Amino acid sequence: MNWSWFQDLLSGVNKYSTAFGRIWLSVVVVFRFLVYVVAAERVWSDDQRDFECNTRQPGCSNVCYDHFFPVSHIRLWALQLILVTCPSLLVVMHVAYREAKQRKRREAEGENCRRLYPDPGKKRGGLWWTYLLSLVFKVAVDVTFLYIFHRLYANFNLPRVVRCTEAPCPNTVDCFIARPTEKKLFTYFMVATATLCILLNLCEMTYLVFGKSKISLTVSIKKVKNV
């Protein structure tokens, strides 16, 4: 899979982020994206091929694998990475809209026209709401996928042996997962980094709301003084 678009997107939104957002970006790129591309894909590349059951009944291994792994870990993680970065595209698009609007006004009224946005990337007005909603969406995506992983794979656990009774298996058969310890460690690592990203997003939301409230309070005090 070509992930160059993913890197371009994250580097583009970085200049519009807060300090918490830049830390989040570093965690996503280094501990989620790079780990996924460099190591995780290879760890799960043999998940179905090396899933073996102690029976020669045709179709038994495939049915048992589908029962215990209805959705591949690695595909779920890829979908999670894509969805968790989509809100960043909304922020970039909103800033691009502001810049295009400012450019059209300059073309219509000349260079001395009043600037609509002194700084198009500054999180004020609609852009502030877009940025805040993007954080809410990121948290919702990570929480949802952690819940899905927990439901599909109880406690994010990968046992060495699973017992399968699905047809067409002739009886209860033992099936063996390839490299379960290694896969379990990577699963815990991905869950931990997703949790860290959730905490960073919550901190950034708090920072934005607190900053907005502080500005509103300052403006209100000035109005009262002027009265």
**DSSP 8-state class, residue 164:** E
d(CA 98, CA 90): 12
List beta partners, residue 175. Answer: 53, 162
d(CA 178, CA 132): 42
Identity at 155, one-letter amino acid code:
N
Which residue would you say has higher pLDDT here, 65 or 109? 65
Q: What do you get for the CA distance between the two ends of the chain, in Å?
A: 62
- Going 152 to 156 to 157 to 158, the CA torsion angle's sign is positive
Q: State the pLDDT at residue 196.
A: 93
Averaged pLDDT of the chain? 77
Percentage of the chain modeled with pLDDT above 90: 9
In this prediction, residues 76-100 reach a mean pLDDT of 80
Tell me the pTM: 0.78
- Looking at residue 182, which CATH number applies to its domain? 1.20.1440.80
Most confident listed range (95-99, 200-204, 208-212): 200-204
Which pLDDT tens digit goes with each residue over 198-209?
999 999 889 888
Structural domain tally of the chain? 1
Domain enclosing residue 86, as ranges: 4-226
Q: State the pLDDT at residue 136.
A: 92
Q: State the pLDDT at residue 74.
A: 80
d(CA 166, CA 202): 43
For residue 159, cis peptide bond before it (omega within 30 degrees of 0): no
Which pLDDT tens digit goes with each residue over 16-42?
677 888 888 888 888 888 887 777 777
d(CA 29, CA 6): 9
Which pLDDT tens digit goes with each residue over 43-73?
776 677 778 888 888 888 888 888 888 877 7
Which residue would you say has higher pLDDT here, 115 or 109? 109
Q: State the pLDDT at residue 150.
A: 83
Which residue would you say has higher pLDDT here, 87 or 2? 87
In this prediction, residues 179-204 reach a mean pLDDT of 87
